[in-house]
Amino acid sequence: MKAINDALGPGRHVFDVDGMRQSYEVAGNGRVCVVHSGGPGINSDYLRMPLLEEHLTMVYIDPIGTGKSSLLPGGEYFVPTYAYHVEAVLDHIQAPKPLILGHSHGGMVALEVAIRNPNRLGGLIAYDTAPVYNAELLAEAQRQISAYAQRWADRPEAGRAARAWAAGDQRRQDAASEREWFAEILPAYFADYRRTIKDQPISLDVTWDPNRHNGSWSAADRLDAIDAPALIICGAFDFVCPPRWSRQMQAGIPNSVLVELTDSGHFGYQEQPDDFAAAIVKFIASLATPAGGVPR
């Protein structure tokens, strides 16, 4: 195992987990925050947060099966499997009481890590996520994207996004078609796509694995096992993880606070970057300093 300073040095790192490459990138200064991107199947590039790097040492994980990390033999990309690889990163970097920030599907992984590892984390940031990954989540997302298409009935991209979402796996047959599908549904992820992308275009690097199976998962009846202080952030116009899920998490996690970004969808760090960063900086200030001080 590398020394702590080596494992948390700036730049790209790769180490071995059960014969597979696990990659992550480090940037910033301050308390350590491990970051897990969404998808599943999307690497960490889209989730860079320069405003937070001024306050935190950000450890951006390429989840297994994405980016510079290995594909998963057998293709069982289940939430507990992702959590296992996050735990391997935590073991590798050896930071005392790190934070974990998970976005979307990555937030589900962060919840699972927090449930499985009492007393290990200094804080949990559950960002535009949900306590379930199942048919109920998908049914709610379908209702929400239909409402989105009605809200922007004068915008052709809104109708295209809703139709592409409804087509789902029928449209996703290989790497090229999956990237096209994500590009087509992308407008639905924003409160106002045209306003946001004018200055901040976003690109999602999707890794195709023909063996990928995502399974189903729920932490709805286990949220009270989370002992880390939790910040829950959601966008009021998020169609895929709408605020009902964040409110459920806030009600279930004992030491938690909810911040709703009123002019954002699924990418609040781009749509309301100052408000997003301020909420996290305030949360960090409320936390106890880990034994040994701020780790680097």
Q: What's the pLDDT tens digit per position in 17-58?
A: 999 999 999 999 999 999 999 989 899 999 999 999 999 999
Are residues 41 and 17 part of one domain?
yes
pLDDT higher for 116 or 176?
116
Per-residue model confidence (pLDDT) at position 206: 86
Are residues 247 and 103 part of one domain?
yes
CB 14 within 8 A of CB 21: yes
Are residues 159 and 190 part of one domain?
yes
Q: How far apart are CA 124 and CA 135, in angstroms?
A: 25
Are residues 140 and 129 part of one domain?
no
pLDDT mean over 186-195: 94
Instruction: Give residue 5's pLDDT band: very low, low, confident or very high (50, 70, 90).
Output: low
Are residues 124 and 25 part of one domain?
yes
The residue out of 171, 197, 223 marking a domain boundary is: 197
CB 266 within 8 A of CB 191: no
Q: What is the 3-state secondary structure (H, E, C) of 173-222?
A: CCHHHHHHHHHHHHHHHCCCHHHHHCCCCCCCCECCCCCCECCCEECCCC
Q: How far apart are CA 264 and CA 27, in angstroms?
A: 26
Are residues 225 and 121 part of one domain?
yes
Per-residue model confidence (pLDDT) at position 86: 98
Per-residue model confidence (pLDDT) at position 292: 52
295 in a structural domain: no
pLDDT (tens digit, 9 = 90+) per residue, 198-246? 666 677 788 889 899 999 999 999 999 999 999 999 999 999 999 999 9
138 pLDDT higher than 50: yes
Q: What's the domain count of the chain?
A: 2
Are residues 227 and 281 part of one domain?
yes
Are residues 226 and 120 part of one domain?
yes
205 in a structural domain: no
Least confident interval from 87-91, 169-173, 277-281: 169-173
203 in a structural domain: no
Per-residue model confidence (pLDDT) at position 295: 43
Q: How far apart are CA 144 and CA 162, in angstroms?
A: 10
Per-residue model confidence (pLDDT) at position 1: 38
Are residues 108 and 238 part of one domain?
yes
83 in a structural domain: yes
293 in a structural domain: no
Q: How far apart are CA 276 and CA 270, in angstroms?
A: 9
DSSP code per residue over 27-78: EESSEEEEEE--TTTB-GGGG--HHHHTTEEEEEEE-TTSTTSPPPTT-B--
Q: What tokens appear for 37 in the block? A: 């991107």
- Burial class of residue 117 (count of CB atoms within 10 Å of its CB; 0-12, 13-18, 19+): middle
Q: 151 lies in which domain range?
A: 135-197
Per-residue model confidence (pLDDT) at position 291: 60
Are residues 149 and 51 part of one domain?
no
246 in a structural domain: yes
Are residues 237 and 141 part of one domain?
no
Are residues 240 and 187 part of one domain?
no
Contacts of 19 by beta carbon, 8 Å cutoff, 6+ apart: none
pLDDT higher for 117 or 204?
117
Can you tell me which residue has the tokens 């998963």? 72
SS3 of residue 100 by DSSP: strand
208 in a structural domain: no
Q: Phi then psi for 158, rounded to 5 degrees? A: -70, -45
296 in a structural domain: no
DSSP code per residue over 113-182: HHHHSTTT-SEEEEES--SEESHHHHHHHHHHHHHHHHHTTT-HHHHHHHHHHHHGGGT-SSHHHHHHHH
